[in-house]
Amino acid sequence: MPRKSTRLTFAVLATGAGVFAMLQSLIAPALPTVQHALHTSQSTATWVMTAYLLSASVFTPILGRVGDLIGKKRTLVAVLLVVLLGCLLAALAPSIGVLIVARVVQGVGGALFPLSFGIIRDEFDPSRVPGSISNLSAVIAAGGGVGIVAAGPIVSALDYRWLFWIPVAVVAVTVLIALRYVPESPNRAEGSVSWLGAGLLSAWLVALLLPLSQAGVWGWGSIKVIGLFAAAAVLFTAWLLAEARSRTPLIDLRVMRLPAVWTTNTVALLFGAGMYALWSFLPGFVQTPSSAGYGFGASVTASGLLMLPMLVTMFFSGILSGRLGPVVGAKRLLTTGSALGALALGMLAVWHDQQWQVALVSGVFGLGIGLAFASMANLIVGSVPASQTGAATGMNANIRTIGGSIGAAVTSVLVTGRLQPSGLPYGSGYTHGFALLAVLCLAAALAALLVPVARTGRMNPSAQSADDPAGTRSEEATAAGRG
31-37 average pLDDT score: 86
**The pLDDT of residue 390:** 81
CA distance 181 to 194: 31
Distance of CA 248 to the CA centre of its chain: 27
SS3 307: coil
Kindly state the average pLDDT of the residues 312-322: 88
Whether the Cβ atoms of residue 257 and residue 388 lie closer than 8 Å to each other? no
Q: 248 by DSSP, 3-state: which? A: coil
The domain limits of the chain are: 3-193+248-481, 194-247
> Which residues touch 340 (CB under 8 Å, ≥6 apart)?
364, 365, 367, 368, 371
The tens digit of pLDDT for each residue in 63-111 reads 988 888 888 999 999 999 999 999 999 999 999 999 999 999 999 998 9
Of 275, 299, 253, nearest in space to 391 by CA? 253
CB contact set of 109 (below 8 Å; sequence gap of 6+): 16, 19, 20, 23, 56, 79, 80, 82, 83, 86
The pLDDT of residue 321 is: 86
pLDDT tens per residue, range 394-449: 888 889 888 888 888 888 888 888 889 988 899 999 999 999 999 999 999 999 99
Mean pLDDT of 448-467: 56
- Beta-bridge partner residues of 419: 425
Is the pLDDT confidence value at 461 over 60? no
Q: Which residues of 62-81 are buried (b: 16+ CB within 10 A; e: fewer)?
A: bbbbbbbbbbbbebbbbbbe
Q: pTM for this one?
A: 0.82
- State pLDDT tens for residues 280-302: 888 889 989 999 999 999 888 88
Render pLDDT for 39-63 as a digit per residue (tens, 0 to 9): 888 778 888 888 888 888 888 888 9
CB atoms within 10 A of CB 91: 19
- Of 184-188, 238-242, 316-320, the poorest mean pLDDT is in 184-188
- What value does the mean pLDDT of the chain take? 86
- pLDDT tens figures, 17-30: 888 888 888 887 88
**Gap between the Cα atoms of 280 and 10, Å rounded:** 30
**Fold of the domain built from segment(s) 3-193+248-481:** Growth Hormone; Chain: A; (1.20.1250)
Helix/strand number for the chain, H first, E second = 19, 0
Average pLDDT, stretch 221-237?
A: 95
For position 481, what pLDDT does the model report? 43
Distance CA 180, CA 164 (A): 25
Q: Which of 127-136, 195-204, 359-368, 376-385 has the highest mean pLDDT?
A: 359-368
> What pLDDT does 234 receive?
97
Segment (H or E) for 270: helix 259-287
